[in-house]
């Protein structure tokens, strides 16, 4: 497989990322970890605290809980949603697993209501991207919803990232304290 360079990676306009973060309410996080020092654990905790419903998917932890949320072995094991769809599948696994996860997402998309396939930072798979797009999913690759949320809410600076911008304007996407604000 040919290596994908940064220049070849898709660029996503801010309005697209904002729209996804505004509209998504439930996220199935494939590769969620119960280990407090893993990035997926921190991302899950952050997103839960921002009001998203997170469904962890990890076959090694199926039936247990991560941050009070029941863990499922696979997407097909998640019960069909009664009150709200699983809007997004967030892949927190190595890129070599992304095509299979994309196929499973496509197989379960109608039952679960999935509209977005998101691949975390470092997860770059043109094959998974193609699989998702051909099925009509919005696909985001090599981005983190936690970081994007923090970027648009103004909290990114609080997380140790110096944007080198002094700004006293209220963020357009999120309200006071970084809570989700519907525009």
pLDDT averaged per 10 residues, the chain (length 183): 60 94 97 95 96 97 97 96 91 97 98 97 96 98 94 68 50 52 45
Q: Model pTM greater than 0.85? A: no
Which pLDDT score is estimated for 110?
96
3-state secondary structure the chain: CCCCCHHHCCCCCHHHHHHHHHHCCEEEEECCCCCCCCHHHHHHHHHHHCCCEEEEECHHHCCCEECCEECECCHHHCCCCCCCCCCEEEECCCHHHHHHHHHHHHHHHHHHCCCEEEECCCCCCHHHHHHHHHCCCEEECCCCHHHHHHHHHCCHHHHCCCCCCCCCCCCCCECHHHCECCC
Residues 74, 70: Cα–Cα separation, whole Å: 12
pLDDT confidence of residue 182: 44
pLDDT in the model for residue 83: 83
């Amino acid at each position: 497989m040919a290596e994908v360079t940064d220049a070849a990676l898709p660029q996503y306009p801010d309005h697209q990322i904002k729209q996804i973060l505004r509209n998504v309410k439930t996220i199935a996080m494939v590769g969620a970890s119960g280990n407090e020092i893993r990035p997926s654990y921190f991302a899950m905790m952050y997103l839960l605290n921002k009001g998203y419903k997170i469904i962890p998917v990890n076959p090694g932890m199926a039936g247990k809980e991560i941050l009070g949320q029941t863990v499922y072995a696979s997407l097909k094991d998640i019960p069909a949603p009664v009150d709200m769809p699983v809007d997004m599948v967030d892949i927190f696994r190595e890129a070599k697993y992304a095509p299979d996860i994309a196929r499973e997402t496509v197989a379960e998309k109608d039952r679960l209501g999935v509209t977005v396939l998101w691949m975390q930072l470092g997860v770059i798979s043109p094959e998974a991207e193609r699989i998702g797009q051909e099925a009509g999913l919005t696909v985001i690759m090599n981005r983190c919803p936690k970081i994007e949320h923090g970027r648009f809410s103004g909290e990114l600076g609080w997380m140790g990232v110096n944007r080198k911008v002094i700004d006293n304007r209220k963020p357009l996407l999120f309200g006071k304290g970084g809570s989700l604000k519907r525009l």
